[in-house]
Structure 1
Amino acid sequence: MTTALCFDLDGTLVHRTESHETVTRATLDAHGFDATDALVKTAEETFRAAQRDLEPNPFERSMRAVLDETGEDGDPEAMVEALRERAYATTEVPDAARESLSALGEDDALGVVTNGTREWQVGKLEHHGLLDHFDAVVTSYEAGAHKPDSAPFDLLRERLSADEYVMVGDDYEADVEGARAAGFVSIHYEDGDDGNGPDLWATIDALL
């Protein structure tokens, strides 16, 4: 029996060392803005609303909202690139995850099912040297809906043929309940896991 083992990206494979808000604030500081709490809130809320509604270029919309609010001149594309660089640089992949992915990929098909834009999320995998581990990567923007909607899971099935599908993720509603409703076996990456120990990955190895 063939198994497709699928992972959430943020908070499961890749872990932040700085919050999204901290990354946003540092980016605004670096571009000469007075990064007040109110301005950071504008950027963050604009991004979240745009991504929630699957609007194109949510990060650019966020930076344009900053420019609109401050009345300053600026290059939103350059601001987004600076945001991306810092966001990628302030994430890490647990050693145990890298080791297990290499081993798991020998016997099982591996996939990623993640909320976000394809460019941003695939870029994150490339930054960390993870992309080649995976046979398929599905983002919510491609699927037309965010997890826990079944659309991302259904699209993964179209791209990766298997007899059984397993989903590993840290968000209980999106990754566990959503996957289960879509017919996947689900494994919850508990919030208490620091990702550096062997427990989660050893459990996955044992289950498969």
Structure 2
Amino acid sequence: MTTALCFDLDGTLVHYTRPYGDVVEATFEAHGITHDDDLEAVGRSAYQRAFDGLEPDPHRTAMAAVVAEAGVDADPDAMVETLRRNDYAATEVPDAARESLTTLAEDNQLAVVTNGVRDWQVGKLDHHDLTDLFDVVVASYEAGAHKPDAAPFDLLRERLPADEYVMVGDEYEADVEGARAAGFVPIHYEEEGPDLWATIEALL
């Protein structure tokens, strides 16, 4: 029996080393925009609306809203690229995760099922030299809906046939309830809980 072992990306494979607000603040300041909580909230709200609506570039929508609110002469596209660099630089992959994934990839089908824009999420995998460990990467944008909707899980099934699917993720609603409803076996990753990687290796 073949098993596809699927992972969420942010908060499961990749972890932030500092608050995301620091990433946003550094991005604003790099483009001459004075950061404050209200301005950050404008960007966050614009991003969320665009993301929920599957608009093509939610990051640019957010940066354009910030520029308009701040009344400054800044390039939203350049700000997006700065945000991307800062975002990737603020993340890390725990050594235990990297070692376990390398071992698991030798004898198992591995996949990523992540909410987000594909090129942004795959870029994060590339940044951490993880991409080649996975047979398939599915981002919610290409599925037309975000987890916990079944669409990302269904698209994964189309791209990676297997007898059984296991989903590992840190977001209970998206990764556990969504996976279970889609017929996947869910494993809830909790950073302070039992060692995830030892558990997975024991199960397999």
TM-score range, shorter chain: over 0.9
Distance 1:32 1:72 in 2: 8
Report the equivalent of 2:63: 63
Report the equivalent of 2:42: 42
Amino acid at match of 2:199: T
Q: List per-residue Cα deviations over 1:137-189 (Å, max 9, x = no partner).
A: 00000000000000000000000011110000000110001001000011000
Distance 1:59 1:162 in 2: 34
Amino acid at match of 2:196: L
Amino acid at match of 1:77: D
Distance 1:21 1:47 in 2: 14
Question: Is 1:120 matched up with 2:116?
Answer: no
Question: Is 1:203 matched up with 2:199?
Answer: yes
State whether residues 21 and 44 of structure 1, in contact with CA within 8 Å, keep that contact through their aligned partners in structure 2. Answer: no
Q: Give 1:205 shift.
A: 0.5
Q: Give 1:192 shift.
A: 2.0
Distance 2:121 2:195 in 1: 26
Q: Give 1:44 shift.
A: 1.3
Distance 2:26 2:52 in 1: 24
Distance 1:153 1:182 in 2: 7
Report the equivalent of 2:98: 98
Report the equivalent of 2:11: 11
SS in 1 for 2:39: helix
Q: Give 1:49 shift.
A: 1.7
Amino acid at match of 2:158: E
Distance 1:21 1:41 in 2: 10
Query: Higher mean Cα deviation, 31-40 or 112-121?
Result: 31-40
Relative to the length of structure 2, the TM-score reads 0.97
Equivalences for residues 1-208 of structure 1 within 5 A: 1-193=1-193, 199-208=195-204
Question: Aligned Cα RMSD in Å?
Answer: 1.1
* Structure 2 runs not aligned, ≥5 long: none
Relative to the length of structure 1, the TM-score reads 0.95
Amino acid at match of 1:92: E
Q: Give 1:47 shift.
A: 1.0
Distance 2:22 2:195 in 1: 30
Structure 1 segments (4+ residues) deviating >3 Å: none
Amino acid at match of 2:80: V
Q: Give 1:19 shift.
A: 2.3
The percent of aligned pairs where both chains have the same amino acid is 67
